[in-house]
Amino acid sequence: MKQFFLASILAGALALPAFAADYTIIAPANPGGGWDQTARSIQTVMQQEGISGNVQVQNVPGAGGTIGLAQFASQSKGNPNALIVGGYVMVGAILTNNSPVTLNDVTPIARLTGEYEAIVVPADSPLKTFGDLVEALKKDPGAVSWGGGSAGGTDHIAVGLIAKAAGVDPTKINYIAFSGGGEALAAILGSQVTAGISGYGEFESQVKSGTLRLLAVSSAERIAGVDAPTIKESGLDVVVQNWRMVAAAPGLTDEQKAAVSTDIEKLVKSASWQETLKTKGWQDTYLAGDAFKEQLAKDISATETVLKDIGLVK
């Protein structure tokens, strides 16, 4: 039975027609994580929509994606069929790890999805609004402990930006890094820390059930269906998006770049991609071409400044 089962998968895989562009996507993370899921979703949708007949996903995990990025930049030069998935976390990791390979060494194609940061407190916290939290922070930065993801990651950067905007010395923030969202969430729920910060998706069900109070989100405008003000509304000019993108190899001709961009645009516009976004709960923040390039440059320089302010980058 098992042989039959396996043989039928094998036969099915072999029967796939060959298309012109066979993409190989590097997911610079372990199987199961956000970048891996993005890469595998692209794989599925591209094959379903006939954009590419055969898409391979290869995992090159390590060091916030910088190992995968370095390998991609050196081994795929001039290869129009090679793609890599990446994101905002990579921007920070390149800076904190002193990575010799940066996003300038690849060809960013488009931003695909993104998630905004959410700031929460336990339901029984005396802090009722984001303003209360900022006041507490101003009074004694050490007494406000923030639970979030790894040091130098998106969550940490966002806290640094908030402190700076509020006029508090960013090196004085009491940021407690946890491994993975789950552990941070547990510490917030157990009132071990004053406030928590992470992608909104991590907190969504807790906020809905009322065990956590959502104080603010880091988007530019209010998010539909989320009952919380933006950080901007409270007078602090902070917008942070934890985005994911796809990039092509370095050294491509303009025609090759255009071809990849067209394929990615087809992907994003397809019904099955929109369906995937919905089931995974990802926000569509598609941005391509020069607009993306500009935004990327802005993100990189802002990140560098704040990491220096926090004291993580010299």
Partner 1 sequence: MNTFDFLLQGLLVAAQPMNLLYALIGVTLGTAVGVLPGIGPALTVALLLPVTYKLDPGGSLIMFAGIYYGGMYGGSTTSILLNTPGESSSIVTALEGNKMARAGRGGPALATAAIGSFVAGLIATMALALIAPFVVKLALVFGPREYFALMVLAFVTVSSAFGDSTLRGLTSLFIGFALAIVGIDQLTGQTRMSFGIPDLLDGIEVTTLAVAMFAIGESLYIAAQGDLGPDKVEAVKGSVWMNRQDWARSWKPWLRGTAIGFPIGAMPAGGAEIGTFLSYATEKRLTKHPEEFGNGAIEGVAGPEAANNASAAGTLVPLLTLGLPTTATAAIMLAGFQQYGLQPGPLLFATNPQLVWGLIASLLIANFMLLVLNLPLVGLWVKLLTIPKPWLYAGILLFATLGTIGANPSVFELGMLLAFGVLGYVMRIFGYPIAPVVVGLILGPLAEQQLRRALSISQGDVTVLFTSPIAAVLLVIAAAALIIPLILRARGRGEVLAQLAASED
Partner 2 sequence: MSKGHTPSTETRRPDRAALVIAVFLAALGGLIFWDASRLASATGYSGIGPATTPFVIAGCLLILAVWTVFEALRGDFPTRDRQEVAPVVWIIGGLALQMLLLKTAGFSIATGVLFAATAAAFGKRKLWMTIPLGILICLGVWLIFAGLLQLSLPAGPLEHLFW
Report the nearest approach of partner 2 to the CB of residue 302 (Å): 22
**Can residue 59 be called a binding residue for partner 2 (CB under 8 A)?**
yes
Alpha helix locations (H) across 76-128?
Answer: 88-96
- The strand pairing partners of 121, in sequence order, are 213
Q: Which two tokens stand for residue 198?
A: 């992470």
Give dist(CA 240, CA 9) in Å, integer. Answer: 43
Residue of 58, 57, 52 whose CA lies nearest to 16: 52
208: Cβ contacts below 8 Å, ≥ 6 apart: none
Which residue number, 6 or 291, has a Cβ lying nearer to partner 2? 6
**Can residue 154 be called a binding residue for partner 2 (CB under 8 A)?**
no
**Can residue 297 be called a binding residue for partner 2 (CB under 8 A)?**
no
* Contact of residue 180 among partner 2, partner 1, none (CB under 5-8 Å per partner type): partner 1
* Contact of residue 10 among partner 1, partner 2, none (CB under 5-8 Å per partner type): partner 2
Give dist(CA 311, CA 146) in Å, integer. Answer: 17
**Can residue 311 be called a binding residue for partner 2 (CB under 8 A)?**
yes
Amino acid in position 277 = L
Of the candidate residues 47, 48, 58, 79, the single one contacting partner 2 (CB under 8 A): 58
Q: Which two tokens stand for residue 185?
A: 């969430």
**Can residue 142 be called a binding residue for partner 2 (CB under 8 A)?**
yes
Residue of 255, 243, 244, 256 whose CA lies nearest to 82: 256
The binding site for partner 1 (CB under 8 A) comprises 1-2, 5, 9, 30-33, 37, 40, 58-63, 66-67, 70, 96-97, 99, 142-143, 145, 150-152, 174, 176-183, 185-187, 189-190, 192-193, 202, 204-206, 208-209, 211, 279-281, 312
Binding site for partner 2 (CB under 8 A): 6, 9-10, 13, 57-59, 142, 174, 311
